[in-house]
Amino acid sequence: MRSLLSIRTRGVRRAGAALVLGALLLAPATPAAVAAPAAAPLPADRHQPEGDPDVLRDAAPRGLFVGTAVDMAALANDPVYRERVGAEFSSVTAENVMKWETLQPERGRYDFAAADELVEFARANGQRVRGHTLVWHNQNPAWLAEGDFSRQELRAILREHIHTVVGRYRGQIWQWDVANEIFDDEGNLRQNIWLETIGPDYIADAFRWAHQADPRAQLFLNDYNIEGVNAKSDAYYELARQLRREGVPVHGVGVQGHLGVQYGFAPDTTANLQRFAALGLRTAVTEADVRIPMPADTVELQAQAQGYSSLLTACLRTPRCDSFTVWGFTDRYSWVPDWFEGEGAANLLDEDYNPKPAYREVLETLALASGRGRD
């Protein structure tokens, strides 16, 4: 049996000698300055046969939640954006406001204002919330990224953060991306502060601590470039299988779905999702967008529609693939132009909220699938 330590690593400093298998005692979290929003039951699937077939959330088959990442500045300042988020989607993901640099900008000082606002918006609109993210190598505050911590100290910092954040939203967040982007494209554990200081057992620790803080939340691994079967998705498959064997509460795997029309689309996405499902895991498409070299033409917009459809269809064909989330829905607020020079137009709607072929393709695919039940 392979242990987590047999998964390839490079340059691990002060790594633990083995995966910690024993259950860890729950430590009290540092209380937040602002009271947490009151917990309420998670919204049920709102799909209604008499709902509006021309919006995504009502066109979707029962059991599939259609979501978007939410830009909180746009939500506050753009009435059209706010209306479309509420009308079109049955789940929302915190694009940035649940990341470390926002939630804990200084050690021990938490700022939940924006995250609370998103949770309240979702409650008002009958939406579920995906929490993103508890452990990542990026968007960490300077005090954490530049700190010089012992293994014991950093492990305590991570546990306290997870207990505080997940505990605050206990019963209110449906799924958490617990461990985000922890492998490189070759299938090696990514070098980050957690691996280098704590060792690979930080992954199992994070899942256990999140489960202690909210036993009802579904806990996910999440990454890009794992849509198809490749070295990276193989690494996640082996990790998930090993964690499950060892009783670690990992419940799902999220494939992000950041695609580009110039690269084509993985032909084996369905097979990949289904092999995770065969392990007893949930799956989800968590961050879908399909970028285009600019300026976009008609052919590329049709190819973009095929990219979205390939992800959605794979999810629909996979048992317990229960959410399909786009990473923003309008080009007006897309992250893509700032990160991929010369590329853009990655979302379902253009900058003026007009639907593209991709929106119509997703809507039609959902409508065609809605006649059959989903677990």
- pLDDT tens for each residue of 212-247: 999 999 999 999 999 999 999 999 999 999 999 999
Q: What is the pTM of this model?
A: 0.87
Higher pLDDT, 45 or 329: 329
Provide the CA 342 distance to its chain's centre, in angstroms: 26
Structural domain count, the chain? 1
**Average pLDDT, stretch 81-96?**
98
Please check the confidence at residue 149 and state whether its pLDDT lies above 70: yes
The answer to whether residue 47 is domain-embedded is: no
Residue 310 lies in a domain: yes
Instruction: Please report whether residue 59 resides in a domain.
Output: no
Provide the pLDDT confidence category of residue 21 given band limits of 50, 70 and 90. very low
Closest CA to 271 of 255, 259, 288: 255
* 217: nearest Cα among 188, 252, 187: 252
Does 287 qualify as catalytic in the annotation?
Answer: yes
Q: Between 238 and 14, where is the model more confident?
A: 238
What pLDDT does residue 20 have?
Answer: 30
Q: What is the pLDDT of residue 44?
A: 65
Closest to 227 in 3D by CA, of 262, 186, 274, 188: 274
State the CATH number of the domain containing residue 221: 3.20.20.80
Range of the domain at 259: 70-369
Q: In which band, very low, low, confident or very high, does the pLDDT at 10 lie, cut at 50, 70 and 90?
A: very low
In Å, what is the CA distance from 239 to each residue of 110, 204, 207, 266? 32, 10, 13, 22
Does a structural domain hold residue 212? yes
* Residue 19: inside a domain: no
**pLDDT computed for residue 277 by the predictor:** 98
pLDDT value of position 343: 98
Which of 5-19, 115-129, 353-367 has the least mean pLDDT?
5-19
Give the range among 52-56, 187-191, 238-242, 244-248 with minimum mean pLDDT. Answer: 52-56
Active-site residue, from 95, 160, 181, 227: 181
Q: Give the mean pLDDT of 317-321.
A: 97
Residues recorded for the chain? 375
Does 7 fall in a domain?
no
Rounded to the nearest integer, the mean pLDDT of the chain is 90
Of the residues 227, 287, 343, 361, only one is catalytic, namely 287
Distance CA 52, CA 30 (A): 45
How far is it, in rounded angstroms, from Cα 137 to Cα 154? 14
- The average pLDDT across 286-296 equals 98
The residue ranking higher by pLDDT, 36 or 61, is 61
Q: Average pLDDT for residues 67-82, to the nearest whole number?
A: 99
Average pLDDT (182-208) is: 98
Do the Cβ atoms of 227 and 275 come closer than 8 Å? no
Q: Which residue has the higher pLDDT, 120 or 5?
A: 120
Could you confirm whether 120 is annotated as catalytic? no
Classify residue 65: in a domain, yes or no: no
**pLDDT above 60: residue 249:** yes
Residue 53 — pLDDT band, cuts 50, 70, 90? Answer: confident
Asked, for residue 339, whether it belongs to a domain, the answer is yes
The share of the chain scoring above pLDDT 90, in percent, equals: 84
Average the pLDDT over 4-9 and give the result. Answer: 35
The region that residue 328 occupies, defined by phi over 0 for left and psi between -120 and 50 for alpha, beta otherwise, is left
Mean pLDDT of 189-215: 98
